[in-house]
Chain A
Amino acid sequence: MWARDVEVMLGVWLIISPFVFVHSDEATLLWASDFAAGGLVATFAVLSYWRPARHAHLLTLLVALWLVAFGRFGAASPLPPGMQNEIVVGLLLMMFAISQLRDAAARRLV
């Protein structure tokens, strides 16, 4: 499922973001947020390939909400690049997390 693959890539992007955007040493929460969110997103996406956990990617929505909220309100504007990155990636993840290529094919009439 292509959306899950994109989510893994975005998770990896979050994990390398502190080095790309050169977060300051004082921004501990931003470092932690990038690492934790990235790790969780990639984990949920990979877990979704395992049938019993196929809806795990929906948990990514919660992580995405955190990213947008923390990115927007975690600092005064104008926001530092690392925070803006969290907003953008959060919004991207929201769109991908609810996407699923196939629909009702497996469903039965009840």
Chain B
Amino acid sequence: MSQSLRGFPAERADLSVVIPPWKHNPSAWSQRIPICILALVATVIAAYMAMYQWRIVDDVWDPVFGEQSRKVLDSDVAKQMYGWFGIHDAALGALAYLGDAIFGLAGSTRRWQYRPWLVILFGIDVIPLGLVSAILVVAQGTIVGYWCFLCLVTAAISLALVYMAIDEVYASLKLLYLVGKRTGSAKAVWLAFIGRPFESADQAAAEMVRRAA
């Protein structure tokens, strides 16, 4: 095992290591910036729909389904969720997409090792929430019976984000798995999860990585 693949001391660590089976570093900016841009686009779209639900704007733009968008955004399902959450579902969606972007921006290009908790939080925001929102949108089309063009756009973005984020989440989960296997200690996995550096966790990380070509 090459010493220089190690993550600590961080000042001398190579931050842009490749994690097989991929040929790239999942925490690289080239991986994360597109996620953040896409998430921000979805934030703006969802915020626009929330502004309609709040009646800050009177109408909602829909080049394909026309009036159906308004019927979806004012549907009983939407009202039900408004009752549960206290704010409109589109506003919650906008916050979740903004969270994707914020958590996407935080941390270094080796954050899958230095802060697995952040990557996993990012993963929870992107993957289960993204899938739920995509399912909800399809459910609106099939249950409510109307389609909403912008909702479909955000659902498509959600699914793209899941695909784009999954490699980094996998890297963090694999690290935690390897730490658990190596130490057999739940406490060690916890310390690795919160990013406390210790010898066996760093060895596990070094085992996962290859030098960037």
Contacts and interface: CB of A to CB of B under 8 A. Distances in A.
Size category, A interface: 20 to 34
A22 to B, nearest CB: 15
B37 interface: no
Nearest to A84: B87
A105 B108 contact: yes
Contacts of B108: 102-105
A51 interface: no
Interface string A67-110: 00001100001110001100110011001101111111111111
B195 A109 contact: no
Contacts of B86: 71-72, 77, 79, 83-84, 87
Interface residues of B, number: 33
B103 interface: yes
Interface in A35-88: 71-72, 77-79, 83-84, 87-88
Interface in B135-178: none
B123 interface: no
Interface in B186-210: 195-199, 202
Contacts of A91: 95
| Highest count of chain A CB atoms <10 Å: which of B10, B82, B86, B105 | B86
Interface string B53-96: 00000000000000000000000000000110111000100010
| Highest count of chain A CB atoms <10 Å: which of B83, B99, B113 | B99
A38 B105 CA distance: 25
Given A71-B86, A72-B86, A105 B98 contact: no
A105 to B, nearest CB: 5
B83 A88 contact: no
A110 to B, nearest CB: 6
Nearest to A109: B8
A104 B111 CA distance: 8
B87 A109 contact: no
B102 A95 contact: yes
Nearest to B8: A109
Interface in B94-117: 95, 98-99, 102-103, 105-108, 110-111, 113-115
Contacts of B98: 92, 95
A107 B10 contact: yes
Shortest 10 CB-CB contacts between residues of A and residues of B: A104-B114, A109-B8, A103-B114, A99-B106, A72-B86, A104-B10, A109-B197, A79-B86, A105-B10, A95-B99
8 contacts: A3-B102, A95-B103, A96-B102, A103-B195, A104-B108, A107-B196, A107-B197, A109-B197
Interface of B: 7-11, 82-83, 85-87, 91, 95, 98-99, 102-103, 105-108, 110-111, 113-115, 118, 121, 195-199, 202
